[in-house]
Amino acid sequence: MTDEFSAADRKVLRDLAKRVAEVAALPVMAERRRLWKKFNALLPERAMILVFPEGSWREIKADWQPQCEGQEARAAEDGLRTTLWTHEHMDTDVPAEPEFWIGKAITDTGWGLQPQWIYSREETGARKFDPVLHSAADLKKLHFPEVSHDAAASAKNLEFFTELFGDILSVHQAGIKFVGFHLIQQYTFLRGLEQAMVDMYECPELIHEAMRFFQEGNRRLVQQYLDQGLLDLNNDGTYNNSGGVSYSDELPQKDFAGKVRFKDLWACAETQEFALVSPQMHEEFALQYEKPLLEPFGLTGYGCCEDLTNKLDYVFKIPHLRRISISPFADVDRCAAGLKGDYVFSWKAHPAHMVGQFKSDMIRQYIRHTLEVCRDNGCVLEMILKDTHSCAGHPERFTQWTKIARELVNEFAGK
């Protein structure tokens, strides 16, 4: 916190907070929390629906007129308005909570090498890798991150927002709630994606050396969070894996006595860059390094946009696995037959359906097919619309998509 909020900004924020508190108190929110706890325990009452507009938020918010003047006040305003817009325009299963979360002042020293990029001239254009890791000698430039926490700054921030919102919302301060490992991403960001693909054939030991380093560095990183008391329980609405939420009665463990341990938490990993890599190479260059990092945690998830259809036999060996990402490019029939009811079937609906012509009938049939195969295989299905980097300037499409999804979910649930 660097700004002192003006009286006008404080009034705007408190009024929005009161509206959020009213929404969070609706009976449907308690019902959603109950459903999620059963769902994540693999005891679903129905399929669950989640929507994360992500890149499309800039189109949704294009007509929003911020009322706050201060930069930090606007950031708080944006978060509150996002919660309200989600409730008012999308019939999803995301529970609104009567809470306001702020982070702790945690920093680290980095890894020694920083990714470099060549950016597009277009505002939303793609960026290109500008490699900084050219040989095994460059690995010597890497070092393990050292974590530090400015406790005084954290306490000051908590005091400020408690005074601002504490009589309306529960103000919570968190350290690290989302625990994710992205080892191949770390490598490709430094090496370049195309070269990383070539390395698996021409110099596999370079990747292995880098993976051993990143595995140990990530192990040390989460251990520092643990030792410094910076981990916080994530058995709530915390974003989980590459979608889903974390509500659970299974975590923390039954012997939990107040101090958060690895086994009290969800954790996840993904290897999107290996979408077209064989199952054997995925195991050799990624999974063998990811699994030891995930092993200490209570519940785990795996995958994001990579198609895991042909890799499930390897993925199933991940310790404490509960949630598996089924990407828009996966074969849902084969994945459903593989997962059955043993894992959360975290299905990512195709975001491209939100651009071009919005074809309601096609979308309905598309969602229906996944519901049918998941029903026939006893799957624990969550359908997630995300990676929607554009809605073609039509925010109402999120309302339309969720309406279709809700109608079908209710139909399959016999409602």
What residues form DSSP beta bridges with 103? Answer: 174
What's the whole-model pTM score? 0.96
Q: What is the mean pLDDT of the chain?
A: 97
Alpha-carbon gap, residue 134 to 314, rounded angstroms: 31
> Contact 315/303 with Cβ under 8 angstroms?
yes
Q: How would you write 29-64 as a 3-class SS string?
A: HHHHHHHHHHHHCCCCCCCEEEECCHHHHHHHHHHC
- Per-residue pLDDT tens digits for 252-294: 999 999 999 999 999 999 999 999 999 999 999 999 999 999 9
Alpha-carbon gap, residue 23 to 18, rounded angstroms: 9
Question: What proportion of the chain, given as a percentage, has pLDDT over 90?
Answer: 98
> Contact 287/318 with Cβ under 8 angstroms?
yes
Work out the pLDDT band at 2, boundaries 50, 70, 90: low
> Contact 371/332 with Cβ under 8 angstroms?
no
User: Other CB atoms closer than 10 Å to residue 96's CB: what's the count?
Assistant: 20
Alpha-carbon gap, residue 356 to 236, rounded angstroms: 36
Q: Structure tokens of 300?
A: 């785990």
Q: Where are the beta strands (DSSP E) in 317-411?
A: 321-326, 344-349, 380-385
The confidence score (pLDDT) of residue 415 equals 82
Alpha-carbon gap, residue 11 to 164, rounded angstroms: 10
SS3 (DSSP) at 183 = helix
What's the distance, Cα to Cα, between the start and end of the chain in Å?
48
Map tokens 């260059």 to a residue. 285
- Per-residue pLDDT tens digits for 141-186: 999 999 999 999 999 999 999 999 999 999 999 999 999 999 999 9
- Per-residue pLDDT tens digits for 328-348: 999 999 999 999 999 999 999
- Per-residue pLDDT tens digits for 60-86: 999 899 999 999 999 999 999 999 999
The confidence score (pLDDT) of residue 123 equals 84
- Per-residue pLDDT tens digits for 108-127: 999 999 999 999 999 888 99
Question: What proportion of the chain, given as a percentage, has pLDDT over 70?
Answer: 99
Q: Which residues touch 134 (CB under 8 Å, ≥6 apart)?
A: none
The confidence score (pLDDT) of residue 124 equals 86
Angle at 262 between CA 326 and CA 94, to 5 degrees: 45
| Angle at which helices 151-165 and 7-24 cross, to 10° | 80
When pLDDT is averaged across residues 358-373 and rounded to a whole number, the result is 98
Half-sphere exposure of 43 (CA within 13 A, CB side): 9
Map tokens 């490699």 to a residue. 131
Alpha-carbon gap, residue 342 to 357, rounded angstroms: 37
The confidence score (pLDDT) of residue 1 equals 57
Residue count of the chain, please give it: 415
CA dihedral over 246, 247, 252, 258, signed as positive or negative = positive
Alpha-carbon distances of 88 from 40, 51, 57, 339, 406, rounded to whole Å = 26, 13, 15, 34, 15
The confidence score (pLDDT) of residue 79 equals 97
Angle at 74 between CA 71 and CA 79, to 5 degrees: 135
The confidence score (pLDDT) of residue 4 equals 84
Nearest Cα residue to 234 out of 180, 177, 295: 177
